[in-house]
Structure formats: C-alpha cells, structure tokens
Amino acid sequence: MKPASFEYVAPTTLDQALERLAEHGFEAKVIAGGQSLIPMMNFRLAQPSVLIDLNKIAELSYIRLKDDELRIGAMTRHVQVERDALIARHAPLIHEAMTKIATPQIRNRGTFGGSIAHADPAAELTAVTVALDARFRLQSAGGERWVPADEFFFGMFATALGPDEMLVEAAIPVAPERTGYALEEEARRAHDFAMAGAAAVTALDEGGKCSAARLVYFSIGDVPTDAGDAVAVLIGKEPTPDLIQSVVDTAADRLEPSDDIHATAEFRLHLARVLGRRALQRAFERAAVEAN
C-alpha cells in the first residue's frame, strides 16, 4: 500500500496552481485534504504523475457573506464550516450535515471543496448543495465559469470539471424566512458512508401551507437524486403525515438503488422511504417553528 511515484508541487497562489494544472491536465491531480485521494493512491487506484498540493494556498480558505449568498472557499476545512456562525445561521442544513461527515479527525483535514469535487455518491455535501441550489465556481488558467450544483455531478466520482479546471468556491443562497431543513441518513457506524440518506428543504406560508419543498437523496444512486416533481405536489397544501408518506412513496418509485454488501437495493429503497419521510417531517416542523 505505497503509492506509485509522482512529482509533487506545492504552489502558494491559485494562479500558480492553475498554471500547473494547465500544463499537466489529466496527468495531474490536485490534492486538498487528501482524505480520499491518499487512500486511492496508496491502493494504486489513482496514479497521478503530478500531485498539485493546494494546502499552501491561503486565498482558498474562507467563509463570507456576499450579497445574499454564502461564499465558501474550496480549501475551507470541514471543521471550520462545522463551527462557523454564518453557516449555522444562514445555511443550517450544511451545519447539520457537517457532523455526519466521517470522523472529527477527517473533518479536521478534509475540505468543503474537496468533498464536492471528489463526488462520492455517499457524500452528504453532494445532496446538500443540490437541495440548497448552490453554485460552484470552476476556474482554469483561461478563465472561470459558474455551474449549478444540480448540473455539476455527472456520475460516481465524475463531475463537470475539465482536466484544467479547479473547483475554487461554492456559493449558497442565504436561507429565506419560514424555511426548515433536515438531513437524515443511516450508516452502519457513526462515521461510515451512509447506506442511504436524504436532505430536505421546505418552507411554509403564513397559512401553514407548503410554499417550497426539496428532497434530495444521496447514497442511493451514482449522483444525488432530486425527488423533483414528486415533492412539488406538496406546494399549496398542508404537509400532513399521509401526504408526506404518499410523496415519499412516489419519489421512491423513481429511485434505482444498487446493491452492495451492507445494503441490498430493496433495503436501500426501504430506507429511502423512511429517511425521506423523516427528513420532510422534520424540515416542516422546523419551518413551523421558524414561522412563529
């Protein structure tokens, strides 16, 4: 379990890093917290010939409020996000998700941008960013572009990132009033990848009727799965337990979960129903508290 040989570079500015990436393209890998890449290299599943270490680039680590968006630098450690007051206030779903990511040790090192760019189907942040309508800024030596989260994830470990591009920032809209959130997941051990999970964002109008609802599953398929239309029927209605149950049943019918040693497709589908229901219920309960 030793990695194959590689060239190691540690630029101190983003521009330098992007230049190296432009130079090496597919041959290179950028390393952020290294919590996924290092094991993959040690198993020789990843054998980059150049490793571009971003850990010395201070300009990529920040959390700030800009206009009506939270901006999170790609190299911001999970632990910083977890403990940040702006995040807790304006993106409580992210706040809730953070403690479910792996272990405290991994969160000390792992980064917000790294987790998203790695695009593990079981990563909480994939579903959370989709549910929150986040956008990602992808930069290359030649320029930058913004990609919405729901267009970013292509497949297992596959994203919209080109070989010369880096995810440098995430922008998350500040939560409107009367909004509720919840993240539910079921993992074998406290820190494990979830067997199934669901992130919900809901809002209630003044009459207690649903005015917005999102439900995004993770660890069910290769990419975060938005329940989409299935939850749209909630809009304008009172979110009763029966209605929520029928919504998650409809949503589950569209899922195509896969088997692994910890959960069969059937068990995953069952968990998706349970967790989707619990996430929506809890999100509506919180929206109701917010509304008061």
Partner 1 sequence: MARLIGKPLKRNEDPRLLTGQALFVDDVELPGMLHAAFLRSDYAHARLKGIDVSAALEREGVVAVYTAEDMGDDWAPGPPLVIPPPTIEEVTFNTRTQVPLVKEKVRHAGEPLAVVIAESRYIAEDALDDIVVDLEPLPAVVDIERALDADAALVHDDLESNLAAHLVQTKGGYQSAREQADLIIKRRIVMDRGIAGAMENRGIVAYWDNKQQYLTVWDTTQSPIPIRNGLAGMFGLSEHQVRVIAPFVGGGFGPKIMMFYPEEVVLTWATLKLALPIKWIEDRRENFYATTQERGQVHEVEMALTEDGRILGLKDDFIHDSGAYDPYGLTIPLNTQCHVLGPYDIPNFSSELHVVFTNKTLTTPVRGAGRPHGVFVVERLLDIAARELGIDPSEIRRRNYLPNDVFPYDNVIIDQAFANFIIDSGDYLPAMEKALDMIGYKDFIENEQPRLRAEGRRVGIGVVSFIETTGVGPYEGARVTIESSGDVSVATGVGTQGQGHFTSFAQVVAEHLGVKVSDVHMVTGDTAQFHWGTGTFASRGAVVAANAMNAASSIVRKKILELASELLDAPEDELEIEDGEVRVADVPRMSISLGELAQKANPLRGAVEPGTEPGLEATAYFGPNYGATAFGTHAMIVEVDPETMNVEIRRYVVVEDCGTVLNPLILDGQVHGGVAHGIGNAFYEQLFFDDNGQLLNASFADYLIPTSAEVPTIEVGHTVTPSPLNPLGSKGAGEAGAIPVPALMAQAIENAIGEAGFEILESPMSPLKLFNLYYGDKEQ
Query: Contact positions toward partner 1, by CB under 8 A?
Result: 1-5, 39, 43, 103, 186, 188-193, 195, 261-264, 266-267, 270-271, 274-275
Select 104 or 236, whichever has its Cβ closest to partner 1: 104
Residue that is written with structure tokens 């199934």 in the block: 196
Would you call 257 exposed, middle or buried from its count of C-beta atoms within 10 A (0-12, 13-18, 19+)?
A: buried
Nearer to partner 1, 168 or 251 (CB): 251
Q: Identify the CA nearest to 140 among candidates 280, 14, 266, 283.
A: 14
Q: Give 51 or 87: the residue with its C-beta nearer to partner 1.
A: 51
Q: Which residue has the tokens 């349970």?
A: 274
Q: Least distance to partner 1 from the beta carbon of 261, Å?
A: 5
Residue closer to partner 1 by CB (options 85, 190) is 190
Minimum Å gap between C-beta 240 and partner 1 is 19
Query: Rg of the Cα trace of the chain?
Result: 19
Q: How far is the CB of 203 from partner 1 (least distance, A)?
A: 26
Minimal distance, residue 242 CB to partner 1, in Å? 17
43 alpha-carbon distance from chain centroid? 25
Which residues does residue 27 pair with via DSSP β-bridges, in sequence order?
Answer: none
Give the shortest CB-42-to-partner 1 separation in angstroms.
8
Between 13 and 47, CB nearer to partner 1:
47
CB 138 within 8 A of CB 167: yes
**Cβ nearer to partner 1, comparing 11 with 257:** 257
H or E element in which residue 175 lies: none
DSSP-derived 3-state class of residue 216:
strand
- Closest approach of partner 1 to the CB of residue 123, in Å: 14
Closer residue to partner 1, CB minimum distance, 29 or 277: 277
How is residue 114 written in tokens? 């790294």
The nearest distance, CB 237 to partner 1, in angstroms, is 24
Structure tokens at 15: 């521009």
What is the spatial distance between Cα 227 and Cα 138, in angstroms, rounded to a whole number? 26
- Cα 235 to Cα 204: distance, rounded to the nearest angstrom: 9
Q: How far is the CB of 185 from partner 1 (least distance, A)?
A: 10
Contacts of 255 (CB under 8 A, 6+ apart): 217, 220, 221, 225, 268, 269, 272
**DSSP-assigned letters across all residues of 49-88:** SEEEE-TT-GGG--EEEETTEEEEETT-BHHHHHH-HHHH
Nearer to partner 1 (CB atom), residue 182 or residue 271 = 271
Structure tokens that stand for 67 in this block: 């206009």
